Amino acid sequence: MTSNETGASPVTTAEEVKVAGVVLWIRPIGPGDSRRLVAFFSGLSPRSIYMRFFAPMKYLSDDLVERFTHVDPLRHIALVALGREVSGHPILGIGRVIAQADPRHGEFSIVVADAFQGRGIGAVLLQRCIDGAASRGIEKIWGLVLAENTQMLALGRKLGFAIQRAGGAEYELTIDVTEVAPEAERMV
């Protein structure tokens, strides 16, 4: 496990990162995280669930838990931020990039526990996902964001995503990862 303030490279094993005073372990999600995932989801507010899934949901079905924790590592980057200093090391955030039919393109998603939103955890997760996608040959990442999700739109701007109206109440965020320097280079 490595330790630093801002992070460095795509994550393939657990990495310790300190973000706004919160010590995290960031690592790929796995089948052993099923209970943590269910607990994380049950702790999300209805608004956070809606911002992530664009629909109200009361619980994660067994099929979704399976799909979210048993990922194809060649097509799916799925990282969790675990609270290192919190009892039981709960999931505090999840970031994903899933390769599309054209494997040079991927769709991203991010969700952070309500009590930890606005602290930079989503930014660290999304940046790790971008770096991981670039290392796997994904060139363009996109995601839909609801217009009312101002925190996610601000995060997209901060990380260099192009933002344009996708119709209705959604914006599409896109970034060409071949034009973005990996985080380690930007921090120099």
Q: What is the mean pLDDT of residues 118-144?
A: 94
pLDDT digits (tens, 9 = 90+) for 28-51: 999 999 999 999 999 999 999 999
Produce one character per residue of 58-91: b if its CB has 16 or more CB atoms within 10 Å, e if not.
eebeeeebeebbebeeeebbbbbbbbbeeeeeeb
Among the listed ranges 11-15, 91-95, 136-140, which one has the minimum average pLDDT value? Answer: 11-15
pLDDT greater than 90 at residue 78: yes
The secondary structure of residue 179, as a DSSP letter, is: G
pLDDT greater than 80 at residue 86: no
Question: What is the CB neighbour count within 10 angstroms for residue 184?
Answer: 14
CA angle 173, 176, 179 (to 5 degrees): 135
Q: Say if residue 186 is exposed, middle or buried (CB neighbours under 10 Å; 0-12, 13-18, 19+).
A: exposed
What is the domain range of residue 82?
3-186
pLDDT of res. 10: 47
- Please report, for the domain that includes residue 86, its CATH number: 3.40.630.30
Our count of domains for the chain comes to 1
pLDDT of res. 41: 95
Q: What is the mean pLDDT of residues 106-124?
A: 94
